[in-house]
Structure 1
Amino acid sequence: MPREQILLENELAIAFFDKYPVQEGHLLVIPKRHAITYFDATEEEIVAIHQLIYKGKQHIDQQYQPNGYNIGVNIGEHGGQTIMHLHFHLIPRYKGDVADPRGGIRKAIPNLVAYP
């Protein structure tokens, strides 16, 4: 990943905007070391990712002023994982982005950019 695309970084993880965002401000947070899934990451990597999720929320709050958030991680092909490197989605949500937001991640929200 080109350094200029990295928004946030600590010793074990980086954060950057998703190439195929489902909402404006959609952020990905990943470990620097290759780990395929959440269950392959170390406790230290999960803590580092968590720290960047908090910092990412602060950045998104300032830049986009969302009304809510979803945090998600897909695990395995049948869990929807298409990139086989652990990544957390920090997805800002906006009033009116779906007609009825109840159920949150239980419902799919349309992508702003078509996913290949």
Structure 2
Amino acid sequence: MSCIFCTINEITLENNLAMAFFDKFPVTNGHLLIIPKRHVEHYFDLTSEEKQAMDDLLLQGKELLDHQFNPDGYNIGINNGEAAGQTIFHVHVHLIPRYKGDMTEPRGGVRGVIPEKRIY
């Protein structure tokens, strides 16, 4: 089975080991995905150099989105493994711009992966 991320050609940012592109099914305007160029299924299998390259693009992506979309905040997340919701098994970091009013009560942020635990 081929990997959809291994054949991506609409690259927004890149360096030697990683690349970033806009999500085809964005949660909000400007939703970016950052991936290693090497096919790796899980975050914990990345090399230190790949993690650093992805982190560099995460920071560049934030700067790009700040200028292009002017969000009020960000969520950063990785679904690691099927039980965590991963559906494409090429590790990817979501950089999701957030905007005031994009949901009624944003408190709890990423804790919303288990809805009844989001508000504490």
Within 2, Cα distance between the matches of 1:81 and 1:63? 28
Do residues 101 (structure 1) and 110 (structure 2) align?
A: no
Where 2:110 maps in the other structure, the secondary structure is helix
Q: Deviations over 1:60-109 (max 9, x none)?
A: 0000000000000001100100000000000000000011111011226x
**Which structure is larger by alpha-carbon Rg, 1 or 2?**
2
How many residues get paired?
Answer: 106
Q: For residues 29 and 112 of structure 2, what CA distance do their matches in structure 1 show? A: 18
List structure 1 segments (4+ residues) > 2 angstroms apart after TM superposition.
none
In structure 2, list runs of 5 or more residues that go unmatched. 1-7, 114-120
Identical columns (%): 59
Q: Which runs of 5+ in 1 are unaligned?
A: 109-116
Q: Corresponding residue for 1:85?
A: 90
Q: TM-score, normalised by structure 1?
A: 0.89
Which structure's residues are more often helix, by fraction? Answer: 2
1:23 corresponds, among 19, 28, 33, to 28
Query: What is the Cα-based RMSD across aligned positions, in Å?
Result: 0.8
Equivalents in 2 of 1:101, 1:60: separation in Å? 20
Structure 1 match to 2:37? 32
In 1, Cα distance between equivalents of 2:14 and 2:69: 20
Corresponding residue number in structure 2 for 1:73: 78
TM-score normalised over the length of structure 2: 0.86
